[in-house]
Amino acid sequence: MLVTSSLQSSLTEIAAEVSASAAGVRCEPSDAQVLEALTAADRIFALGAGRSGLALQMTAMRLMHLGLTVSVVGEVTAPAIGPKDVLLVASGSGTTAGIVRAAENAKRAGARVIAITTAPESPLGQLADERILVQAPQKQDHSAVASVQYAGSLFEQTVMLIGDVLFHELWARSGASAEELWPRHANLE
């Protein structure tokens, strides 16, 4: 498919923003602790609202391919969270009411919370045991100064990449081959 110069220009601009956002991602207290929390968890629960939630559903699928026990919050088959579990959540603002409430419930149940957010001082950022911090504007920022994209797109794109990076790192550490992961891939498609 031939990409027009207008589309190519937009693609280049968006790719540059995503690259800059990805370069600024940092984990608190450390990336090693984020990976250890995921590896040590009995179960991982993924939750995000809207497009952030869709990005985390992709992450949940990949973590399941590794053989981890993963649930997407809100699905009818998602069990109760407990003390040896991890809630992986994404909220750019860190103030999305349903996400913060779920993190509070997870903490009360004794679970760890890993938050992907732009706002470490937000309610979600403060609840989290580990934070993956993203440099991206809030979706209400319509100034086009921090991003030319609409309503949180840069954050959501970065969340998707973070999910792939988490999977990639855990996969490399597992030593498993792609052939060993493949039998877990959906076959009812």
Residues with active-site annotation = 156
What token pair was written down for 38? 């995921």
Is the separation of the CB atoms in 51 and 152 below 8 Å?
Answer: yes
Give the whole-angstrom CA distance, residue 176 versus residue 94: 35
Query: Residue written as tokens 């988490």?
Result: 166
Question: If we measure between CA atoms, which residue out of 117, 172, 184, 153 comes closest to residue 15?
Answer: 153
Give the span between the Cα atoms of 158 and 1, in whole angstroms. 26
The answer to whether residues 44 and 35 touch, using CB atoms and an 8 Å cutoff, is no
Which of 123, 176, 129, 173 is closest to 28 using CA atoms? 129
